[in-house]
Structure 1
């Protein structure tokens, strides 16, 4: 739909988004490692079985071969979110995380932000397991956690203006509430239509978790639906 690349929304409670940057670096480093070892795209099978989230395994419809059972199954509720299939998969998620994550980290504080991110990733995986309980395919990528960040940003800064590339080409600036509500509506619409090319169930789970967690994890005194500190 669109790729965000700038928002005019300065930080108020923290000096720098250290943990947003740390999450981006972690995802990129893991991607670079896979690229260096040839474990990307069609060659990712071993890693996605070991660290991806597989509904049929979590729901006890299937078992992993012993050589791929390298961590407790419960860990896959989070580890899947650090593995991306290709560069474009990584780029899209990291752009969303960079543009929206800093202000969510600002609204939550550093520690609560990381907790929020992990809980959104886990909720997204859980929703994916509910919508496709017997799927043998691995869920991969940060989009579930990023969906939670989108929901939090919408609740914290709906009137900030955001620059995006529409269809990857055309720059456009609109208020966050328009862009993000359209994006969220699209996720739920595709879920209702039964599209399984992308895990819209995971996106929906991340969105719902993000909205609920924003109510309880944001820093004291941080208002909901605040006006922007600056405007374009």
Structure 2
């Protein structure tokens, strides 16, 4: 019998200080013209944080995609202190300051991979600094053949690290959660990477959130089934609060209420 049920986990993606939904694979520092944006919000980051707070949607991820996002991020954290995790440019030098700004946890990726090579020393350093319970490791990835390789720098650079049982076991000694964007399907609204979700359900021993391609409320049931309830799901461009037409935010709120009332 499944002891855990998959939940909807909200997100706020920041680009140039605005809440946006972006096709993940098009983010590039060397070719800014390649960027494809599905949605730019009129509302502030704080507005979205207050919406999530109103509905008790804890553990959402607030991601700074590139520079000029710090003030926007602080706006969201002020709106719901302790309700959001923050990622994007997190290092040992700024992690504690973001906790001080109200982030419940910090999410780290690129810092762990100097020159695209995994550094266990850096993982240990930042885990000791903020505490395992306040650290989320982002193992967002791109598919290469039959493997998924961790991608960094807005998912443009492939690291030397494979998303696999060995990697998750090692990393879970130093963090309390994983965040996994399937960058190849991020923002496309063409369906989740079911193969990856199933493997995450098999491998993960700590809370894990998957993002990428979700386009229907039924995707939550699919994630629940193929991960045995061990993986949570984020919706982006398909969601009505982000300009989408495929998924209603209220339906996801109701899903969580139902799950949590039974747990």
Give the structure-1-normalised TM-score: 0.25
Higher RCO (CA 8 Å, separation ≥ 6 residues):
1
> Would you tell me which structure has more helix in proportion to its own residues?
1
